[in-house]
Structure 1
Amino acid sequence: MGRQLGVGEGVVKVEALHGGISAEMRRLTIGSRDGGTRELVLRSFVDVEGAEEWLNREAGALTMLAGTGVQAPGLVAVDATGAHCEYPSLLMTHLAGQTVLDDDGLETRVPMLARQLVAIHALRPVERPGKYVALTTADTVVTPEGADEDAWAAAIDTIRRPAPPYEGRFLHRDFQPGNVLFNGAADARITGVVDWASTSWGPADLDVAHCSVNLALLHGPAWGLRFAEAYEQAGGVLAATASERLYWLVRDALASSEEVQQVSQPWREAGRTDLTTRAVEQRLDAYVTTLMNTLG
């Protein structure tokens, strides 16, 4: 990493950043001889399968995003195989801002999130990323204890069907409140979007579904449904029929059933101590039930 610093620069402070699931994040304060400082972020994958592919994908995305108007970290360097770093790592610029996971201000933030996602989907990279991956199957879904069995059975049957046809878009693939930074001022605005390691090509509905389920788990099922509405109000285009929309919404909601603990722990570390694993399971059940009752 030292090769990426200027003459006379050195690391004067290292601070662990919380909120990530698959990677360790550290904010590095870089000092210069004249007393000035700047900040970088080091993202390292420790014993993570596929780290090389993830880091190369993120490096490519950050390079593509430069100058597009979508605020993202700037790529400084990448060591996808861990040849020079202890672990496969990516070094990038630090974005000002903070994630906001509280209920207060949702009425303002949700439309902002929707407009930001529409802007991401409008990007047309010269080289498309790989096709989206959806690992969840009808056989891997974990139905929460005490869940509405009829609703979950219907939801699982929904994803047994072939995926609907779609018009491909550039996807962030993990667009959700934990990866969006706000300035924290009274005139709230988005200062950047982070974690581009899963970028892919696929239906806009899938990114919308992912953000929707995260909003539902953080703030309640109604907010999951409202995000799709906000996305369309911002100019985004979703699948034409209710059954097609339901497929993508349910697919991503059921994917969350397999990783409730992994998803909720960073939220608790960020201050949402009310979001116990059990509380999140109950919200997921309520959201899946609401989807099936509304669109099923």
Structure 2
Amino acid sequence: MTVHDEVGAVRPSTLAWVSRHLEVGERVVRAEALHGGITSEMRRLTVAGPDGGTRELVLRTVLDMEDAADYLDREVCALTQLPGTGVPAPELVAVDATAAHCEYPSLLMTHLAGRTVLADEGVAARVPLLARQLVAIHALRPLARPREYVALTTADTVVVPEGADRTAWAAAIDMIREPPPPYEGRFLHRDFQPGNVLFGPGPRLTGVVDWASASWGPTDLDVAHCSAALALLHGPQWGLRLTEAYEEAGGVLAATASERRYWPVRAGLTYSEELRRVSQPWREAGRTELTTRFLAARLDAYVTGLMG
């Protein structure tokens, strides 16, 4: 979703910094706020050249994050390794991770064609595309391995939804008290979900954005994170369908039933802490029915189903 914006809305020092990274004779002539981001302020910038042609860039501004520099540095590390891999990701133009030149930590990158699609309509066609893209990401062997994945949710931080199946949730919470199953590490996007994927007509997957959480860890974790998002957006059955589609596309998940259940349960419990945070951008994108209460009920159904 975009909102037309004046170029003057881009902060002066940031606009000057952006201008220094343009080609000779180019200037920013338009800025549009991109809604849907959670951690950053995003703007699409239209850049006009001296010949009258235009191109588009995307400016990420991190307004209120204690570890903004680390956050942007991790995205830079991922973006610099993705060109030539076949994964449709933005290309890095410039970064000011410590706000040495901009008002806030900022990152400038190329713009990808396509749009995020969160509607129920067409989800059956999009899920196999998501699965195939995840398989391709997990097949990458980066020269510089990203940091090991971090699982922030603990048994003590899970937020049990009001009216949830207490027995099922207690069993799920007990499950993540245990050490994670052994795994063979792979390159992970770590926040692969419909809000970070762009589609064109067809449908056709045209881009994967927001690489700041790229990590090294189990493929199950990426699949489980996206599955939980699909379950919240479209219903629990679509979370389960992604797992099937991932294996149909050649992806490899944990070998045993207990190991395969651990990661989806952990991902579901992680979302229990994020419902209000994810609900807002989804509603801004047009899914007005996805209130925090509505998502809590869907999450309960999903977690309860996983626990059998």
TM-score (norm 1): 0.97
Q: Does 1:212 align with 2:227?
A: yes
Paired position in structure 2 for 1:136: 153
Task: Decide which of 232, 250, 274 is 2:265's aligned counterpart.
Answer: 250
| 1:201-224 deviation line (CA, Å, top 9, x unaligned) | 000000000000000000000111
After TM superposition, give the deviation of residue 27 of structure 1 in Å.
0.5
**Within 5 Å, which residues of 2 pair with 1:142-181?**
142-181=159-198
After TM superposition, give the deviation of residue 23 of structure 1 in Å.
0.6
Paired position in structure 2 for 1:20: 37
Paired position in structure 2 for 1:3: 20
**Within 5 Å, which residues of 2 pair with 1:249-288?**
249-288=264-303
After TM superposition, give the deviation of residue 233 of structure 1 in Å.
0.5
Task: Decide which of 90, 104, 109 is 1:92's aligned counterpart.
Answer: 109
Q: Does 1:32 align with 2:58?
A: no
CA RMSD of aligned residues (A): 0.7
Paired position in structure 2 for 1:49: 66
| 1:91-146 deviation line (CA, Å, top 9, x unaligned) | 00000100111111111110010000000000000110000000100000000000
| 4+ residue segments displaced more than 4 Å | none
The amino acid across from 2:84 in the alignment is G
Paired position in structure 2 for 1:197: 212
Paired position in structure 1 for 2:130: 113
Please give the alpha-carbon distance, in whole angstroms, between the structure 2 residues aligned to 1:191 and 1:178.
13
The amino acid across from 1:53 in the alignment is D
**Within 5 Å, which residues of 2 pair with 1:53-68?**
53-68=70-85
What is the aligned-residue identity percentage?
A: 74
Please give the alpha-carbon distance, in whole angstroms, between the structure 2 residues aligned to 1:168 and 1:91.
30
Q: Which runs of 5+ in 1 are unaligned?
A: none
Please give the alpha-carbon distance, in whole angstroms, between the structure 2 residues aligned to 1:59 and 1:214.
25
Please give the alpha-carbon distance, in whole angstroms, between the structure 2 residues aligned to 1:250 and 1:53.
28
Q: Does 1:79 align with 2:93?
A: no
Q: Which runs of 5+ in 2 are unaligned?
A: 1-17
Question: What SS does the aligned partner of 2:287 have?
Answer: coil
Please give the alpha-carbon distance, in whole angstroms, between the structure 2 residues aligned to 1:255 and 1:226.
20
Shifted more, 30-39 versus 148-157: the winner is 30-39
The amino acid across from 2:215 in the alignment is S
Question: What SS does the aligned partner of 1:289 have?
Answer: helix
Please give the alpha-carbon distance, in whole angstroms, between the structure 2 residues aligned to 1:80 and 1:289.
42
Please give the alpha-carbon distance, in whole angstroms, between the structure 2 residues aligned to 1:106 and 1:3.
42
After TM superposition, give the deviation of residue 182 of structure 1 in Å.
0.4
Alignment length (residue pairs): 291
| 1:72-106 deviation line (CA, Å, top 9, x unaligned) | 00100111101111111110000010011111111
After TM superposition, give the deviation of residue 3 of structure 1 in Å.
1.3
